[in-house]
Amino acid sequence: MPQERSRSIQYINRLRILSIYAVVTAHVTIWLTMASAPFTFNWWLGCGVFYACFCSIPVFVMISGALLLDSSRAESLGEFYRKRLYRVGVPLVAWTIVYLGVRRFVDHEPLTAGRVFGLMITAEPYYHLWFLYMILGLYLVTPPLRIFVRHATRSERLFVIVLVLVLASAYFQADALLWENQRSIFTLFIPYIAFYLCGYELSRIDPRRVPPARYIVLAVVICVAYLAVFVQPFIARQGGVGPGRRFVFDFFSPPIIFLSIAIFWVARRYDVTAGPAAGICKTAVEWIASTTLGIYALHPLVLIWIQHALRGRAGDGSFLAGVLLVPPITFAVCYLITSVLMNIPVLRRTVC
């Protein structure tokens, strides 16, 4: 999500916009779905929209891998860490402080020094900030990963990607069903290395090469079989929605993995086969894409205000209106606020 301004790649900008809109939609939908009775029409609709938006985080990670894992980039180890830690470190510290304040003064949560320390170690100053902690971890291991991609063959890189994805998928599903361990900032980023490498690999494959149909069929079969295996616990536990119950779909479940890769691939292929954007359209896409970090950081604040305005109405006829209208309203408000903050020197670095 943090921008790499030295490269302007149109499909990357489109993916940023699509992914941040999906993040906002997911957080709106989960709130509405958890307020609905299980197995009603609204509940099923909310589950479907919510899970479809799960691809946003893997796509964000693949974007970072496509931009940052180029081993030919001429920058020293110190220069890399200085630039990346400054870019993600300032927003991370600033928004951690802001959302700890939200917990204390808006959510009225008692915050002791021990509680604050625990929230930071588990990457949970607020429900969305874990992503920034995870990205920071990926930045820390980027230099050795650059050495790996420089010397490894494509087959070796693909083997590592598939191996990590399989292990991550197995772990997260077993953890959700059996253990429900608490994540920490020290290991949070490790499974996402697979998506990080995947973004690099996809960005260097000729997008006009269409995968053989048998691979597409295999992906569909794996997804169907995966969902069939988990249908019984899904029903028994009233779905995978809500804290401690989200096990059917995760960022590393086969349906999300394949959907994320497909979205990235389609965007890249369109960028090559379609004519290049120009004029106002190109400028608008680049500017909106530059506000991605700000929208991500700000949108829970806007949703807090909307939740207070719509409290107690999620289960009635307003459900569909909420799913359709709240995400674009939230997106637009966050975009406008971010655009303003980007023009205030002392606050600019917190949103871009």
The secondary structure of 330-344 as a DSSP string is: HHHHHHHHHHHHTTS
Q: Average pLDDT of 325-329?
A: 93
Q: Average pLDDT of 267-283?
A: 80
CA distance 199 to 203: 6
Specify the range with the lowest mean pLDDT, choosing from 197-211, 235-249, 258-272.
235-249
C-alpha distances out from residue 248 to 175, 217, 238, 306, Å: 12, 21, 11, 29
Count CB-CB contacts under 10 A for residue 280.
8
pLDDT confidence of residue 240: 60
The secondary structure of 162-216 as a DSSP string is: HHHHHHHHHHHHHIIIII-PPP-TTTTTGGGHHHHHHHHHHHTS-TT-PPPHHHH
pLDDT confidence of residue 298: 96
According to DSSP, residue 247 is labeled: -
pLDDT interval class at 191 (50, 70, 90)? very high
- The dihedral built from the CA positions of residue 309, 311, 316 and 319, taken in this order, carries a sign that is positive
Is 52 a domain residue?
yes
For 60-108, write each residue's pLDDT tens digit: 999 999 999 986 777 788 888 888 888 899 999 999 999 999 999 999 9
For 276-307, write each residue's pLDDT tens digit: 777 788 888 999 999 999 999 999 999 998 87
Is 1 a domain residue?
no
Is 178 a domain residue?
yes
Q: Which residue segment(s) compose the domain that 195 sits in?
A: 10-348
For 28-57, write each residue's pLDDT tens digit: 998 888 888 888 888 888 888 988 898 999
Question: In whole angstroms, what separates CA 79 from the centre of its chain?
Answer: 26
Q: Average pLDDT of 3-15?
A: 68
The secondary structure of 41-77 as a DSSP string is: HHHHHHHHHHHHGGGHHHHHHHHHHHHH--TT----H
Determine whether 228 is exposed, middle or buried from the number of CB atoms within 10 Å of its CB (0-12, 13-18, 19+).
Answer: exposed
pLDDT confidence of residue 6: 36
pLDDT interval class at 310 (50, 70, 90)? low
Statement: residue 131 has pLDDT above 70:
yes
Which has the higher per-residue pLDDT, 156 or 227? 156
pLDDT confidence of residue 17: 96
Percentage of the chain beyond pLDDT 90 is 52
- State the amino acid at position 146 in one-letter form: R
- Return the ∠ at Cα 116 (arms to 137 and 301), rounded to 5°: 80
How many domains does the structure of the chain reveal?
1
Is 2 a domain residue?
no
For 102-115, write each residue's pLDDT tens digit: 999 999 999 999 99
Which candidate, 347, 336, 315, places its Cα nearest to that of 98? 347
- Return the ∠ at Cα 173 (arms to 59 and 235), rounded to 5°: 105
Classified as helix, coil or strand, 128 is: coil
pLDDT interval class at 18 (50, 70, 90)? very high
Is 5 a domain residue?
no
pLDDT confidence of residue 5: 39
Q: Which range has the top average pLDDT, 42-46, 134-138, 172-176?
A: 134-138
To the nearest 10°, the Cα dihedral for 263, 21, 256, 185?
A: 120
Is 27 a domain residue?
yes
Which candidate, 216, 258, 255, places its Cα nearest to that of 234? 255
Structure-token pair, residue 332: 């637009």
pLDDT confidence of residue 7: 41
Is 64 a domain residue?
yes
Is 197 a domain residue?
yes
